[in-house]
Amino acid sequence: MSNPMDDDLLARFSAELSQKMLEERLERREFLKRAGKVAGAALLSGALGSVIGCGVKEAARKTAASAPASPSAAPGAPAAADLAVAAGGGDPGALARRAVDALGGMGRFVKPGKTVAIKVNGSFMDGPEAGTSTHPSVVAQVVAMCREAGASRVIVTDHTLRGAAETCFARNGVGAAARSAGAEVVAYGGSDSGQGTDVAVPGGTALARTRIYPVVLNADVLITVPKAKNHGSAGLSLGMKNLIGVTADMSNIHNVDLHQGIADLASLVKPDLSIVDASIVLTANGPGGPGPTKAPGIVIASPDFVAADSFACTLFGMTASDVGYVVDAGRMGLGQVDYTKLRVANV
C-alpha cells in the first residue's frame, strides 16, 4: 500500500473537496433530524422531506461557493489526510486511533456537547477471531475518542442478524467494550424490529422510503464502524453496507435493489466518518460465517465513506468496480471512488 499521492496542489484541492462534502453532510444531518421530528405527521413528512431536501441542496451549493478552508487550518501545520490507513497489525483499537489521529483527530468530526451514534457491526455471535463483527477493541477506542472530543452522549447501535440482539452484543464482546468505554448500547433484533421513523429518501432511485432508528436520526454525528468482510450477495460488507443496520425494515432493501438501495441509504444518512475494521476479516461464506479468515491488520478511516470502502476492496484482491454499491455511490457523487485522488496517509 504505497501512497500514490505526491502532488501537494492536488492534495489541497481534494482536502477542500472533502471538507465541502463534510459540511454538506452536516447540513444533511440537520435535515434528517428535522425530518425525524416532522415524521410524526406521517401525511406531511413526504412532502416536507422533499421541500427540505431542496433547501439542503441550496445550502450545499452556497457552502461550495464559499470555499471553506482545509480542516487543519493552522498555517504551516501539515494538512490532515482525507483517508488514513493504519497498518502493521497489533491492537486493532490502537490502529483505529492512529488512523483517526491522522485525519486530524476525532475533534474534527465530534464537537463538544454533541450526540454521536456509532453504527458498529454487532450482528453475529462469534468473537473477534471469526471476523464477522467489529473488533471490540476498535469499538472501545472509537467510543473513547468521541468521549475525549467532548461528546455528551455516545450511542453504539446495530440491528442484529442472528438470534436475540442482546445475545449478539453479549457474545461478540462489542456490548461490553462499548459500555466500558462510556457508550450506551442500543440493539435491535428480528426481521423488522417494528420501530424506526419512516422517512423519504429524496435522492433515492431504488429505495423510496425507509424506517430509520431515532437514535441515528437524532444524533448530531454518525460514524460507521464496519467489519470489512465477505458478503454473499453484496460481494463485500463495508462501511456503506453496514448502514443497513440503521433501518428497521431491513428486508425491504433486498426487494428493491440491494446495491442501489445501499447507495440510496448512504445518500440519506451520510455518515460523517467511516472507520473500516480490517484487522481480521472473513474471506468467504460471509457475512456470518463460519468461514476462512485472514488478518490484514489494517484499520481505514475517512470522512469519505465511499473512498474508505473503495480502499477496503483492495484488501480482498478486488477493486471498487467489483462491488456494486460502491460504484453506485460514486455515480451519485457521494464520494470519491478513486481514492488515489485523495490525500492518503499511511500510518
Partner 1 sequence: MSARERPRGVSVARRLVQAAFLAAFVALAVAAAYPPLSFPASNVMLRLDPIAAVYSLISVHSLGVAAAFWPAWVLIGLTALGSRFFCGWICPLGTCLDAAGAVKPRALKYYEPTGSQVRQLRKGADPAPGTAKHTPPRGRAWLRPKYLLLALVLVFALARVNLLYFASPMVIVNGTVHYALMPIVPIVFIALILAAIFYRPRFWCESLCPSGALLGLVSWAGKKFPSRAGVLAVAKQPSACTSCGVCYKACSFGVEEPFTSEMPGRLRSLDCTSCGQCVGACPEGALSLDGFGRTLYVAGAVGARSATDKPSSLPGSPAPPAGRFAVSRREFLGSVGLGAVLLAGYGIGMGDHKAPVLRMPGAQDESLFLARCNRCQECARACPPGSLKPMGIESGLQKLWTPRFVPREAGCIFDQCSQACQRVCPAGAILKVDPKDTKIGLAALNRRTCLGWRGKYCLVCQERCRFDAIAAKGLRPSVLEDKCTGCGSCEETCPTNPPSIVVRPLV
For binding to partner 1 (CB under 8 A), which residues are involved?
Answer: 125, 161-164, 167, 189-191, 231-234, 251-252, 254-255, 257-259, 285, 287-290, 324
Q: Which is nearer to partner 1, 58 or 166 (CB)?
A: 166
Q: Which is nearer to partner 1, 78 or 232 (CB)?
A: 232
Shortest distance, position 191 Cβ to partner 1, whole Å: 4
Q: Which is nearer to partner 1, 288 or 335 (CB)?
A: 288
Shortest distance, position 14 Cβ to partner 1, whole Å: 31
CA distance 109 to 147: 12
Burial code (b: 16+ CB inside 10 Å, e: under 16) for 244-278 equals bbbbbbbebbeeebbbbbbbbbbbbbbbbbbbbbb
Q: Which is nearer to partner 1, 80 or 246 (CB)?
A: 246
Shortest distance, position 214 Cβ to partner 1, whole Å: 22
Q: Which is nearer to partner 1, 3 or 195 (CB)?
A: 195
Contacting residues for 323 by C-beta, under 8 A, at least 6 apart? 234, 235, 236, 238, 259, 309, 313
Q: Which is nearer to partner 1, 241 or 341 (CB)?
A: 241
CB 124 within 8 A of CB 133: yes
Pinpoint the alpha helices (H) of the chain.
8-38, 42-66, 92-102, 136-148, 165-171, 174-180, 214-217, 252-256, 258-269, 305-313, 324-331
CB 130 within 8 A of CB 124: yes
Shortest distance, position 290 Cβ to partner 1, whole Å: 6
Shortest distance, position 327 Cβ to partner 1, whole Å: 13
Shortest distance, position 128 Cβ to partner 1, whole Å: 18
CB 212 within 8 A of CB 266: no
Q: Which is nearer to partner 1, 191 or 321 (CB)?
A: 191
Q: Quick one: which of 129, 182, 123 has its CA closest to 158?
A: 123
Locate 143 and state its grid cell. Answer: 467510543
Q: Which is nearer to partner 1, 100 or 265 (CB)?
A: 265
Q: Quick one: which of 257, 244, 299, 245 has its CA closest to 277?
A: 299
What are 186's strand-pairing partners?
157
CB 214 within 8 A of CB 220: no
Q: Establish whether the linkage from the previous residue to 71 is cis, with ω within 30° of 0.
A: no
Shortest distance, position 231 Cβ to partner 1, whole Å: 8
Shortest distance, position 245 Cβ to partner 1, whole Å: 12
